[in-house]
């Protein structure tokens, strides 16, 4: 597994986070949150806004793992289409789930505005370019379902995708105007500041090592002190450790690496994402790209198991940049970094009630900027007493993946399989004389 790198573009360009200390004494609160990424910070923020006292325990620092390492693409909805979700969860619950997931970016951009978070937020839309005609047809079917629900989405021709992205390699695509981009670490740090302003307490370098229950209260032990609270929210996602083994075994973690170029020349900038959208294509092992505030191209794709992101392990990413944007021939790369993405077997985020007063939310399948922020609010709502039937997302039973070690091996095999499938799609496209 690659360790989380603090040498990301985002770490180099975000304003410093709040000055925080490790836990050094016993604390009490209405709620304790384990993990200070988007899930934990959003939960703490919403609990604080409801007048609850909150302590957040973070093993590293706010946003130092996935929430400060990601692509900063604010993506509406889930991987399943609205109709699929309504079929699975029933028309009433399914419709609420679809509406909540579709409005995830509203929540993100609203929190940024209300808490005055300086994180280069741009709501210029999210593009899903299609890598095959079949993928384009699937996108069109999903877009029709969103349009019936009044969402601001539209299908794009291959020409329009080329104009908006600067890449000639796509068959067309979807533009979802609900999405956008943020500086992800700055957003996480801004949420942390907002939690503190709301009266919350955050302790850094304070890993929760033991969780126990006595007299209707939970107790969390860290190396420097303990916290007792009637409610605990576990928000450790892909970085879940042995604290609750079954939680860790309910997800499969997959590495994703990103590279950032030096700032593009004005001429290249005029052709690549001139409208400032984010893009994630439809490949099985998707490629996602955007510009940062200084005009660097940031491209992400699957990472290598066991290797740290760096010039040696990011050859695939350089090739992807050259393939998609031949106009950038010779461009130099300034940053390489990566992190872990938590995948679930059903591709849905999971909200669990592990025991009375013990909640967990995780598994955003690469869409956590909006979904983890939303999950934090759902966890807070549940902690405040909202019933399962009132919540937009259902409380799900915890289902550890059988033979979890095997599942991780299977993830490696699946990555190889999808790589082959993506290669075949591209080759067939060429044989048919298609765009890519
Ligand atoms: C490279 C990469 C690119 C991505 N790109 C995108 C994207 O463009 N758009 C998108 O929507 N999503 C993206 N994602 C996914 C998104 O980043 C995550 O879904 C989201 O950040 C999850 O937030 P979180 O708070 O649940 O987890 P995290 O941010 O990982 O936070 C979990 C926290 O728990 C802490 N922790 C763990 N164990 C303990 C313990 N025992 N005690 C105390 N603290 C503990 C960790 O230190 C960590 O800070 C990407 C992910 C990666 C890795």
For residues 222 and 316, the answer to whether their CB atoms sit within 8 Å is: no
Question: 49-53, 306-310, 353-357: which has the minimum mean pLDDT?
Answer: 306-310
In the reported structure, the alpha carbon of residue 56 is separated from the centroid of ligand 1 by a whole-number distance in angstroms of 15
Q: What is the mean pLDDT of the chain?
A: 93
Q: Which residues contact 64 (CB under 8 A, 6 or more apart)?
A: 4, 6, 58
Model confidence at 283, pLDDT cuts 50, 70, 90, reads very high
Asked if residue 25 has pLDDT above 60, the reply is yes
Tell me, what's the pLDDT at 400?
Answer: 87
**Per-residue pLDDT for 430 more than 50?**
no
State whether the beta carbon of 372 lies less than 6 angstroms from ligand 1: yes
Q: Round to whole Å and give the CA distance between 361 and 379.
A: 7
| DSSP-based three-state secondary structure for 371 | helix
Residue 395: DSSP 8-state = B
DSSP assignment, residue 348?
A: S
How far apart, in Å, are the Cα atoms of 229 and each of 144, 192, 311?
A: 46, 20, 46
Arithmetic mean of pLDDT, 286-313:
93
270 alpha-carbon distance from chain centroid: 28
pLDDT at 408 over 90: no
- Is the Cβ atom of 66 under 6 angstroms away from ligand 1? yes
Instruction: Give the mean pLDDT of 12-37.
Output: 98
Whether 264 contacts 272, CB under 8 Å: yes
CA distance 124 to 176: 9
Helix or strand or coil: residue 401?
Answer: coil
pTM of the model: 0.94
- CA–centroid distance, 329 to ligand 1, in Å, is 33
Burial bucket for residue 397 (CB in 10 Å: 0-12, 13-18, 19+): exposed
From the CA of 290, give the closest atom in ligand 1.
8
Ligand 1 within 6 A of 281 CB? no
Pocket test for ligand 1, best of 32, 35, 120 (most atoms within 8 A of CB): 35
Q: How far is the CA of 333 from the centre of ligand 1 (A)?
A: 24
- The answer, yes or no, to whether any atom of ligand 1 lies below 6 A from the CB of 238, is yes
- In the DSSP assignment, the letter for residue 432 is T
pLDDT band at 416 (very low <50, low <70, confident <90, very high): low
Question: What percent of the chain is predicted at pLDDT more than 70?
Answer: 91
Task: Report the first-to-last Cα separation within the chain, whole angstroms.
Answer: 32
Q: Is 70 in the pocket of ligand 1 (CB under 6 A)?
A: yes
- Could you tell me if the CB of 340 is within 6 A of ligand 1? yes
Token digits of residue 183:
């500086």
State in Å: Cα 172 to ligand 1 middle. 31
**Token output for 13:** 């360009």
């Amino acid at each position: 597994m690659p360790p989380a790198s603090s040498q990301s573009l985002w770490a180099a360009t975000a304003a410093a986070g709040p000055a925080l200390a490790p836990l050094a004494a016993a604390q009490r609160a209405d709620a304790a949150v384990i993990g200070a990424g988007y899930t934990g910070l959003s939960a703490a923020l919403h609990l604080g806004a409801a007048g609850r006292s909150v302590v957040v325990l973070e093993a590293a620092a706010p946003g130092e793992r996935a929430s400060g390492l990601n692509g900063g693409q604010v993506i509406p909805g889930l991987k399943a289409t609205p109709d699929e979700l309504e079929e699975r969860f029933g028309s009433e619950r399914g419709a609420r789930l679809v509406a909540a997931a579709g409005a995830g970016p509203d929540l993100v951009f609203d929190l940024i505005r209300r808490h005055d978070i300086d994180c280069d937020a741009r709501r210029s839309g999210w593009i899903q370019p299609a890598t095959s005609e079949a993928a384009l047809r699937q996108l069109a079917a999903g877009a029709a379902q969103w349009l019936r629900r009044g969402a601001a989405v539209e299908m794009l021709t291959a020409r329009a995708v080329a104009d908006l992205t600067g890449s000639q390699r796509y068959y067309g695509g979807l533009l979802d105007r609900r999405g956008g981009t943020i500086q992800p670490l700055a957003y996480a740090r801004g949420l942390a500041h907002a939690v503190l302003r709301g009266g919350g307490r955050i302790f850094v370098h304070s890993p929760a090592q033991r969780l126990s229950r006595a007299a209707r209260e939970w107790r969390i032990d860290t190396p420097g002190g303990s916290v007792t609270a009637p409610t605990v929210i576990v928000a450790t996602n892909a970085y879940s450790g042995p604290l609750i083994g079954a939680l860790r075994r309910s997800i499969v973690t997959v590495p994703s690496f990103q590279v950032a170029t030096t700032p593009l020349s004005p001429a290249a900038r005029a052709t690549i994402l001139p409208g400032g959208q984010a893009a994630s294509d439809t490949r099985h092992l998707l490629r996602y790209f955007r510009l940062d505030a200084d005009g660097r191209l940031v491209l992400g794709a699957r990472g290598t198991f066991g290797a740290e992101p760096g010039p040696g392990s990011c050859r695939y990413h350089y090739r992807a940049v050259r393939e998609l944007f031949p106009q950038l021939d010779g461009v130099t790369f300034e940053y390489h970094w990566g992190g872990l993405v938590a995948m679930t077997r059903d591709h849905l985020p999971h909200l669990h009630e592990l025991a009375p007063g013990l909640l967990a939310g995780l598994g955003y399948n690469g869409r956590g900027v909006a979904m983890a922020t939303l999950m934090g609010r759902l966890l807070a709502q549940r902690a405040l007493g909202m019933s399962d039937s009132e919540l937009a997302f259902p409380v799900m039973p915890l289902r550890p993946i059988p033979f979890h070690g095997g599942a991780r091996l299977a993830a490696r095999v699946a990555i190889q399989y999808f790589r082959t499938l993506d290669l075949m799609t591209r080759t067939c496209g060429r044989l048919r004389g298609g765009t890519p």
